[in-house]
Structure 1
């Protein structure tokens, strides 16, 4: 009996030991996974690629947006075959867009679109000629102004200080008649009488008196008073005496219509424009103008009518050129057969004007209808006030000047809006002239990350002055704003600005369009601070008195051949 009991006990112990061993083995297998930090590859049965196979452990974020519906594109081509189905899909597409931009206030008031009546003069057109400021006076009716040889030195000094011939400008009436350069068809558009009101915003810094004040006068003279809510002037820390107490007294004649606000330090054009939007409280639409321009005949109704119809539209007038020397108004160049061009850019983010495409031509019924543009120039445009705030105004990181035109254009298009150029709204703009000293950026603004070529120990920099396609390089005061003083030298030994290369033209240095392997002519010897033109073994030289850049035989240690280049590197 005892023997049987012992055998049974032994069998029980063996079974228990085996069970424990199996459990331990299983546990060790699990620990192996932990020890290696990943699971051993185990090719299980092939599963179908549906269901929850690829469901993430952390849910994907919910992103509201509108994808391109390729099926919808196909259906649009079948419009004749299945119009009801297409209409249904278009409605769904529109609903999706509205959901996507739910953060923007919906359109409250629906204004009718303008109507063209070819035989009936437009309802906002003058019935006769525009009254002159001074009959027969200088600059009236777009006649040029000649100051004569006795005032030549004073005129050159004013160009150096302000960028314009202020001697000639001071002879021109502030209320002058400018002439009508619109297409004839523009005179026969009829606009809704209940257009939105406007706050005109003008930012200025150390502007000349008459060109600046004439901008205000042109707005008051050529804008229907019932739509002109206010003119907001933002002084970006000017230091000129005539822009202080004299300006404050001068604007009192408009009894509060013109308002003046001053920045406590230099903010730059872009931030000052955002300040202007915050100070402007009365107008439904914000209209931005530069401080040296003149609006054209019946400019306002065509500019704001598209915004009245669709609040997500930003409009741009056609910007013509006012000669800064004799103050004649010249139609903007380039474009198509009607002189119309869109705004675009190249890979260097350089502003371009390109003709309208056939597609854009065909989508318009009339030649003077507004047309779409990828980007605006940025100086003159209109936008609904609330929409501008919904976009976040300008990026506050943009300093002083430049790039804001692309930033606001991208935001408008990406947020469901449109940028429209308006052929029947025109404004003349005075462009700075050669010889202007510029408005240097203040010390608290950091240098832009550009390659600036400066005369060693001087404040003179190589400057293209906007010249291109064969223009001559010049020397100008360093302004730390990039633009015309932005250059680079690449490993192919090309000295470049945007798509232009520096080239020798006898002793002068010109800048011209270049291809990949053209004008590989330059070497910068960093230790010696010298630029060598390798084909001629000449050195880059300068004449600081004549503001000239030239080539000359290399002379060791010659001060005018010594240059420094910030952020030097092979690109």
Structure 2
């Protein structure tokens, strides 16, 4: 009997314990439904990711092999010939890329002063968004490896691979399997569009899918360098309205060597609304106290940048009326500055980029995407200065650029500043060909009806000035200005000679270069080189002009289309 009572008591206690455990489980399930379990899972993931990160950090300085430490890989013989043939399609050396480890090591190319900076422990988390369409497998995956291996796990929320409807076989199941096997912790997510949407709309889709506090957009052929992430996140924590670009190092398209040079330039633009790199202007150099200080930039190239996710959507993300690619980087640059933000380059953040010689893939049609997109930009953001865009793109006048009413309403609601404010305060060194000049427009030799002309030459390099039949405003090649600084110039270049008899060459303008000074005498129509006293002389149609000793010859008489103060 005693035994039975003892056994019954033990049974009751066991039953009560089971019952208590059951109710405790129910309590945790209903009152901590997923939060508790998710927190436990997240902690486990973070420990796993930290271990992976630490292992790579320890091994990176000691790795060796083809392309390791960012070294070049030079091919010879049959391999070199194979690479040359494939490069016709891929626009870079895919054979070399495939021979280099997908998680190759890089040396630290930062300024030593960057390594002394102590960053806050609490930083926003980043979603790295990589858009691709038919990208080759090895550069795409090397981009992902570089991000994960060189980003402290506590600051990297995820890597999103946004596949814009690729048709390349290796980017299907092969890519999916590789990612699942290499990163089983789901740090990498593939998001696929159902149809080709183009870079602009694909980036919006990537941003919408992202869960991090900060969006970092990268091209699909990059390599993040050591210490690249913390400087970006620190600055955005300080100023959530700052859009940031890392300094972009060159990865050689042929040898895959990581150049470690950085551009240390700022972004600008041509009035045709194409992006250009420019030297850091004097006023910005003066503002900065150190070589590693942030660099304010009027524009960005647009392929690599970081921005607070909430701010990105607050100021209108991208213009969904723009198609495929082109113009979106300048539109976003103008909008960031005009609507209360800033655009800065971060010298202590370095990311390598393969600059390919051409697009390795085509576009859906022969439509002028850049031109139409730029029309939308000009109509919404440039106010009266859009005249300078159409001066270069008269062929677009009257073309349909779609409905921009929503974008104009966005600008109004955000109380954005004028484009004149942008030019005066952000880009004061930008030359405006029809403002604050002595004269501008076509420069005609009346006797021959020939006008000064660039003859279609590339203005990114030096070129000789020529003459061509006057086009009566149709050709932007014939727009010259006589600046208040007495320069006979184009948008970026100024005509110069060294001695009488030289043919004028357009070089990058330099206000201190006396060889670029000219005087115009409206009374007799001569354009006289200030230093040598030589007169500009016309020549035959389609040929380069020259300079000679001044005379009364008709070939030395010129008339500007518009005079402002002469």
1:188 maps to which residue?
A: 116
1:321 maps to which residue?
A: 250
Among 206, 210, 223, the residue aligned to 2:138: 210
Larger Rg: 1
| Contact residue 262 and residue 350 of structure 2 kept, 8 A | no
Shift of 1:175: 1.4
SS at match of 1:259: strand
Cα deviations by residue, 1:413-454 (Å, 9 ceiling, x for unpaired)? 111111111000000000113xx57311114x7344869xxx
2:83 maps to which residue?
A: 155
| Contact residue 232 and residue 349 of structure 2 kept, 8 A | yes
1:257 maps to which residue?
A: 187
1:288 maps to which residue?
A: 217
CA distance in 1, matches of 2:222, 2:470: 41
CA distance in 2, matches of 1:345, 1:143: 33
2:336 maps to which residue?
A: 412
SS at match of 1:320: strand
Cα deviations by residue, 1:425-484 (Å, 9 ceiling, x for unpaired)? 000000113xx57311114x7344869xxxxxxxxxxxxxxxxxxxxxxxxxxxxxxxxx
Taking the TM superposition and a 5 Å limit, the aligned residue runs for 1:132-531 are 132=60, 135-252=63-180, 253-254=182-183, 255-280=185-210, 282-332=211-261, 340-433=264-357, 438-443=360-365, 446-448=367-369, 495-496=455-456, 499=459, 513-514=462-463, 517-518=465-466, 520=468
CA distance in 1, matches of 2:316, 2:359: 34
CA distance in 1, matches of 2:215, 2:72: 32
| Contact residue 144 and residue 326 of structure 1 kept, 8 A | yes
Shift of 1:246: 0.6
Shift of 1:147: 2.1
CA distance in 1, matches of 2:468, 2:289: 50
SS at match of 1:294: strand
CA distance in 1, matches of 2:343, 2:261: 19
Higher helix proportion: 2
TM-score where L is the length of structure 2 = 0.56
Relative to structure 1, the CA distance from residue 298 to residue 442 in structure 2 (aligned partners, 3 Å threshold; closer, same or farther) is same
SS at match of 1:303: helix
CA distance in 1, matches of 2:112, 2:63: 25
Shift of 1:301: 0.6
Cα deviations by residue, 1:187-207 (Å, 9 ceiling, x for unpaired)? 100111101000000000111
SS at match of 2:59: coil
SS at match of 2:96: helix
CA distance in 1, matches of 2:335, 2:290: 28
SS at match of 2:333: helix
Cα deviations by residue, 1:113-164 (Å, 9 ceiling, x for unpaired)? xxxxxxxxxxxx9999863499321001122102221212321232122221
CA distance in 2, matches of 1:273, 1:450: 20
2:505 maps to which residue?
A: none
TM-score where L is the length of structure 1 = 0.56
CA distance in 1, matches of 2:200, 2:156: 23
| Contact residue 203 and residue 235 of structure 1 kept, 8 A | yes
SS at match of 1:496: coil
| Contact residue 245 and residue 305 of structure 2 kept, 8 A | yes
Taking the TM superposition and a 5 Å limit, the aligned residue runs for 1:62-77 are none
**4+ runs of 1 displaced by more than 3 Å?**
125-130, 132-135, 331-334, 445-451, 490-495, 497-500, 512-515, 519-523, 533-536
CA distance in 1, matches of 2:115, 2:54: 9
Relative to structure 1, the CA distance from residue 131 to residue 491 in structure 2 (aligned partners, 3 Å threshold; closer, same or farther) is farther
Taking the TM superposition and a 5 Å limit, the aligned residue runs for 1:535-546 are none
Computed over aligned residues only, the root mean square deviation of the Cα atoms, in angstroms, reads 3.0
Shift of 1:522: 12
CA distance in 2, matches of 1:428, 1:521: 46
2:399 maps to which residue?
A: none
SS at match of 2:167: coil
Cα deviations by residue, 1:241-268 (Å, 9 ceiling, x for unpaired)? 0001111111113232111111111111
Shift of 1:209: 0.9
